[in-house]
Every structure is written in C-alpha cells, then in structure tokens.
Chain A
Amino acid sequence: MKNRVIAFLLIIAALLPVVVAAAPATTLEVVWMAWPKDMVDKLIAGFEKQNPGIKVDVQLVPFTQLFQTLEVRLPTGGTPDVYLVDGPLTPSYAARGFLLPLDQYFTPAELRAWFPSSIDTSRYQGKLYSIPYATSSAGLYFNKAIFKKYGVPFPSEKPGDRLTWEEVAQIARKLTIDENKDGQIDVWGLLIEQIDRPYQLLPLAQSKGAEGISPDGLKTEGYITSKPFVEATEFYWKLFNEWKVSPQGIPDAAKSREYFGNGKAAMMLGAEWNIARLAAFKGLDFGLSPHPYFAGGKAVTPTGSWHVGINAKTTKKDAALTFLRYITGREAAIEWHKLFGHAPARPDVYDAMPQVFNNPMWQILLEEMKKTAVARPVTPGFLEYELMLRETFNSIHYGANPEEELKNAAKRIDRELRKYR
C-alpha cells in the first residue's frame, strides 16, 4: 500500500513539470528601445523565471525608428501588448486611445514608490496611463584639468551655491581657447549636450519664470513668446552667436559627450547618464556642479525619461499588467541600473544601492530630482510641440532672431494643437 502511494506520488511528481509546461503560455509582444540585447535579455529572463506562464517577445527597435514604428502599429490594433513610452508622449497616446488607463490597478500608496514629477508625467486629464521606467536629471559637468590649467576655480558642487547662467557665461568666455593661435577654437567654453532639445533648454526659460505651454496644453502663444522665455532664448543665442563660447551643429548627445570627454570643452550642461559614461574616457578628470539658474530666478532642472504603457486593445491584459509591474518594480529597476546606468524613477532604489548613489554627483542629482525637477509640458501634441520647438532652437543657435523664430513657432505649433481641442 505504502509503495503504491509512493509510486503514485512519484508519477504525479514526474507529470507535474509536463502539466506545467503544457499549460498554454501567454506570449506578450513588447516594443522596446534597442538597448543592448544581452542586457535586455537578462532583465526579461528574470521575469520569465518568476512567471513561468508568460513568455515575453521583446522587439528591440532602434531609437531613430522607435516613434514611427509605434505610429504605424498602434492605430491598427492589439499589438504590441506592452510598449515603451517616452514619458511626455503619454498624453499623445492616451488622447488617441492607445493606452490602457491604469488607475484601478495601482493604489495611491503604490504610486508613491515613484518620484512625483514622474507620476505627473504619467497622467493625462486626471487618469493614469503609464508607469515610469526611468527618470533623468541634469547638471553642469566641468573638466578639472582645463579649469586648473587656466587658473579658474572649480564651480561649487553644492546645490545651495549653484552658479548663475551669467557666471557660467563669464567662465565660458575665459575658457574658450585657441591654444595654438591658428584661428580655430581648441577648447570650447560650454557645451549644451542636447543642443536643441526642449528637454535641455526649457529649464532656462523656466528659471526666469516662463512656462512652455498653457495649463491645458493646447496653446503656446503667450507662453513661448513671453518676455522671460524670449530673454532666456536670447541668452542661448548669445552663447553661439555673440560670445561664441559654444560650438554650433553638434547633432546629438553622443557627439557632445565625445567633445567633452576628449577635453575639447571646459563645461557641458548634460544629463545624468554621463556620470557613468564619462568615466570611460581615459585621462578625463571631471566634476559635476548643480544645474545653473538665472540670477533673480529660480532653480529648475529637467527630468523624466522612459515610461511603460499597456496597449488599450490588448487581449492579454493580466499578463501585460504582471509584466508592467515587474519591469517598473524595484528589483528590475536595480538590475537595470546596474546593467545600463539609467537613473531609477524610484527613490527606494537609491536607498537600496548606497554604494552607487553615495557618490557626491548622484547626491546632487538626487536632490535635484526631489526639489527642483520640473516635468516637460503636458500636452497631447507633445510630438508636434517637441519637434517644432526643437527646429526653432536649432535655427536660433545657428543665428536666427530668437523673438521672431519663437513667434513663428508659436503660430505653427498652435495650428497643430488645434486638432486636440
């Protein structure tokens, strides 16, 4: 009898894995940015181990193709089930019905796990549509060797005594140097990492008290054409065209980092991801000073990054939610920071990794994220807004008249925003 029971149990035990394996696995289709495949695979493997019933098929889409791929696929139905959402695009997708409202699945207490500025970005018209995957901040990187060589004291590394933009411009003028007197600048005073992106440039205007868009997110006339906005943009114009302390036409963040990393610029206004990546440049000794502000204005820093959302038309809602919770959760955020170095959008991750974040540079940024961070404008027309403002800044940095360009931009943007009324 006893033997029979044992035999029976053994048979059950032997069948168990078969039964489990036979349970139909749900396959989630996920659109993700083409971050290094080996890293993403590691993250996904962790999820699949915890959730044997769910397979995740991640399509890695190169950054240049990501938004247009989503624009083609989202209007036609149920796939992808889960996708990477650029934080400020949440309202754009939500307004068009591409995102599943998430309020009923996350309690307010749960939502407190993320930075408030990130959760603000997740909401549109009072509803929650995406969950933060990472966030960002920015500060003023400086090359210590260049400062030393030309006898300029290092800027402070305390948020309390951040530089004003006026001071930055002065230092930049001192440190824009033609070393061999051949008429060519060898060291530039100041780099703007993302030379024309509103992400990087709006905080200048916001520091002077300007807003990037109306509270309802549908009008820019009177906002990007306001006096403080124009003044801040004139300062930006002077960097390239009057003082000539910043080089024109650096197309992207990666190139800016190359310039700064190779000692071709004394300062760089740049995002947090540089902390890890600048360390890869041999012989570069750099520091980080808090984000500058305009004298008499307030300190404002950019923030926000990637979020994750669920397709409103998915047929695999439960599995998608499970995945969403995992990928934005504490464990995955820790893992992803170790792998890729993104700034986690969850304060609890900073506490969990003191060995990384006790670094004084991260401490500055963490304080900025908590105190001075202002999310990008909330508008369903962010795609249009971002591109047109970017083109406008681009023209201005090449020398176009700031006030005129901003007026034109406001007209064009507002025309595009009309469709969301």
Chain B
Amino acid sequence: MRHAHRTHGTNHTGKMFGRLLTAVVLAALALVFIVPLWWTLASALRPAGSLYEYANPLTWRTFFPSRITLDNFINIFAHLGFGRALANSFIVAFGTIAMGIVVSAMAGFALAKFVFPGKSIFFFIVLLTFMVPFEAIVIPLHLVVKRIGIVNTYWALILPAVGNGLGIFLFKQFFEELPTELLEAARVDGASWLSIFTGIVIPLSVPAVVTVVVMMFLFQWNSLFWPLVATYSSRYQVVQVAVASHVTAEEAHWANSFSSAIAASLPPMLLFLGVQKQYVRGISSTGFK
C-alpha cells in the first residue's frame, strides 16, 4: 500500500484536501452520468405516455414515477420479439470474440515481438482498416459477402468483424510491454511459439485480453446498419435494429424505446462490471507481494 509510507504530519491537511477534492469530483461525475440515465430509467418504468409530460416543469415526478410498471419491458419481449434479437446479438458477439481474440492477439504478437519482411506494410494495413468509415465500404463489402456466399447467415455478421484493426493495434501495444528476455528464456527451454503464445503471452496480458473482449462485444452489440444489409431475414434481427424500430416515420413509441435501450445496455454493462475487476491485478501484481 503506497499510503503506508506517508507518515509526515505536513501531509495530513494535503491528504484531507485531496480526499475532499476526490469526493467532490466523484459527486459531480455521478450527477453528470446519473441524471440522464436515471431519467431514462424512470421513463421506461412509467406507463407508456408522452415524452415531455414529466420533463417540464422540473419536479421530483420527473425522476420518480408515481406508478411503477414493468409493462414496457414485458411488451417488448412478449410482442416485439426482443428476446430473439438479444439472442442473435449474443451469437454474433460471442462468435466474433471467439475468433477475433485469437486472430487479433496472434497478429498483435507478431507485430510486437518479431521482425519480418513486410512488417511495416502489415502495420499500415492494420491502421488503414479503422480509418475508413464504414459507410464508405459498405457497398463493396456487401458484394464480397454476397460473392463468398455467406449473405443472410450469421457468418455474414461475424466474419467481417473478426479481423479487427483496433484489436490488433491494442494487442501490439500491450505485448510490447512484455520483456522479450522472458520469451527468449522459454524459447531456449525448447518451448514452441504456440506454447509461448498461449502459455506466457496471453496469461500475462489478461487486462489487454478482457479489454479487447469488451471492445469487440460493444462493436457487434452496437452495430445497426451492417446487419440490415448483410442479413435479409427477420430471423437475424439484432438488438440495435430492435431498439431503433420503435421510431417510425409516423410515430415514436418512447416507452418502448427507453425500455429496450435499457434492456439492451444490461449485457455490455454486466460484462464490463465483471471484467473491470481485472483492472486491479494485472501483470503488475503477479509475483509481487
């Protein structure tokens, strides 16, 4: 514990001030993030109604519904096929993660620890892939998916996201931090590259791996346009499409909008909640203390 070293009296007021400052900043932070989210939650838990009814004038009713109902949540699952959309997005997200982590981590490892001909070209390609807007490549990408015959399948949603430039880039940055000497020692011991990769590199990079997992999950979870283009069948409706469906040209069903957005935000939130625990004991604490 680093604070244990601080025993000087002069530091005492400074420490108090620091704590106060932290508390104020945290409170402000909470306010900025909670107010809009809380209002959304309150709107989702109210009987379906109008958008501004409780937004103006500002009263405590704005944030605390007088009658709480789960109807809006029940409605989207029972009548609007939200469960199916959730399941589809799970399949797509996990499929992408399962393949994408391996593919990205391998490439990131090569970029971080190897010298090979064409390396800078490969890195350039990696950078390029996330600097082009999706809207600019959607038409040719749709043709690719159509030609290789995976259009209107889960593969059309999974495979294009497996090669993830950002993921490779992130792995490269994190793997560079690993001491090469360690890998060299294992190499001298006769370990194969594959066992070094799976036995040393990955276990020492848990924070990086879980971060890319969250990144890939969010990428697929939040995708809206591509699923509409790459799959034609109602069977493959994904979660963002279901959420966006509550606003049509003629009307907006606010309550369903909010309840589906909240239901859709739970899986990534829970994933992050579980994963963020890794951010206190990364490689720094392995072997120390």
A→B interface (CB under 8 Å): 29, 31, 33-38, 57-65, 68-69, 72-73, 75-77, 79-80, 252-255, 257-259, 261-262, 264, 271, 273, 277, 280-282, 340, 342
Contacts and interface: CB of A to CB of B under 8 A. Distances in A.
A64 B232 contact: no
A286 B3 CA distance: 68
B245 A59 contact: no
27 contacts: A29-B232, A29-B233, A34-B241, A34-B248, A37-B80, A37-B81, A59-B233, A59-B237, A60-B234, A61-B241, A62-B241, A62-B245, A63-B247, A63-B248, A63-B249, A65-B224, A69-B228, A75-B139, A80-B232, A253-B251, A254-B252, A258-B50, A259-B52, A273-B251, A280-B49, A280-B50, A340-B250
A356 B79 CA distance: 26
A60 B236 CA distance: 11
B224 to A, nearest CB: 7
How big is the B interface, by class? Answer: 20 to 34
Contacts of A37: 79-81, 245
Nearest to B253: A36
B142 A59 contact: no
Contact of A79 (B49, B143, B232): B232
Interface string B68-111: 00000000000111000000000000000000000000000000
B35 interface: no
A342 B249 CA distance: 11
B160 to A, nearest CB: 14
A63 B50 CA distance: 20
A57 B233 contact: yes
B52 A73 contact: no
B130 interface: no
A220 B241 CA distance: 37
B139 A36 contact: no
Among A63, A252, A277, find the residue whose CB has the most chain B CB atoms closer than 10 A. A63
A256 B26 CA distance: 37
Contacts of B235: 57
B143 A61 contact: no
A76 B53 CA distance: 46
A258 B52 contact: yes
B23 interface: no
Given A65-B225, A68-B225, A262-B53, A60 B245 contact: yes
Contact of B50 (A57, A79, A253, A281): A281
Given A37-B79, A258-B50, A262-B50, A273 B228 contact: no
A282 B225 CA distance: 37
B146 A76 contact: yes
Interface in B232-265: 232-235, 237, 241, 244-245, 247-253
A33 B232 contact: no
A80 B152 CA distance: 12
Contacts of A262: 50, 52-53
Contacts of A257: 251
Nearest to A273: B250
